[in-house]
Amino acid sequence: MTAQKRAVVLVSGGLDSTTVLAMAREQGFACYTLSFDYGQRHRAELAAAERVSAALGDVEHKVVTLNLDSIGGSALTDLDIAVPEEATEGIPVTYVPARNTVFLSIALGWAEVLDACDIFIGVNAVDYSGYPDCRPEYIASFEAMANLATKAGVEGRKITIHTPLMDMGKDAIIRAGLALGVDYALTVSCYQASAAGLACGRCDSCRLRREGFESAGVPDPTRYD
């Protein structure tokens, strides 16, 4: 019997990454889920990441501790910077400097340890809030670097960064997840959720999530504060 291919899946506990995990599992991968305690504004998303990883049958769930709050520069890592509650132009203050580069680098390291050549991340160029590290050009560049800078890549075992949500709107993401059995009540997307995981209903992430459920024509299971 052929061994199941392994994949590292970045899971934040939010709607998008949970959908990606369901997609990776549907594609037949043995999923190793990776989350980060990086000094973010709240920890409710970490509890959600653990919940969805277990619910979707991961092999192992790992939480890596970083201290991105030590450099700050984002409303998600600096409590002195307010989370905006209205849509803004350009790159918003909720952008965390170099976050996806740091996260993908650690995922790449774990993938090498696991002898896995596939990494899944829930970046999206449609409803992406203006983040520069969610664009297809960025992912293509990181993948090229990964294949130059790793033992696996040098030996000809191509590293692939999978971004199945890249061209999907939030409503399409939700419909895809529901078709795969995702329970979105387990997820937390809010930038400033309470300790119990209740969403504020006002931040950009809450707005995109709410509009997605409305456009998909399905009930919104989000618990609001």
> In the predicted model, is pLDDT for residue 87 greater than 90?
no
Residue-wise pLDDT for 152-163, tens only, equals 999 999 999 999
> In the predicted model, is pLDDT for residue 73 greater than 90?
yes
Asked if 13 and 49 touch (Cβ cutoff 8 Å), the reply is yes
Q: Give the mean model confidence (pLDDT) for residues 25-34.
A: 98
Residue-wise pLDDT for 207-219, tens only, equals 999 999 999 999 9
Q: Virtual CA dihedral for 220, 221, 222, 224, nearest 10 degrees?
A: 100
Question: pTM, whole model, 2 decimals?
Answer: 0.95
Q: What's the full length of the chain, in residues?
A: 225
Residue-wise pLDDT for 113-131, tens only, equals 999 999 999 999 876 668 8
The pLDDT assigned to 124 comes to 92
Q: Give the mean model confidence (pLDDT) for residues 69-76.
A: 94
Q: In whole numbers, what is the pLDDT of the chain averaged over residues? A: 94
Query: Which CATH code is given to the segment(s) 6-216?
Result: 3.40.50.620
Q: Virtual CA dihedral for 208, 209, 210, 215, nearest 10 degrees?
A: 80
85: confidence class by pLDDT, cuts 50, 70, 90? confident
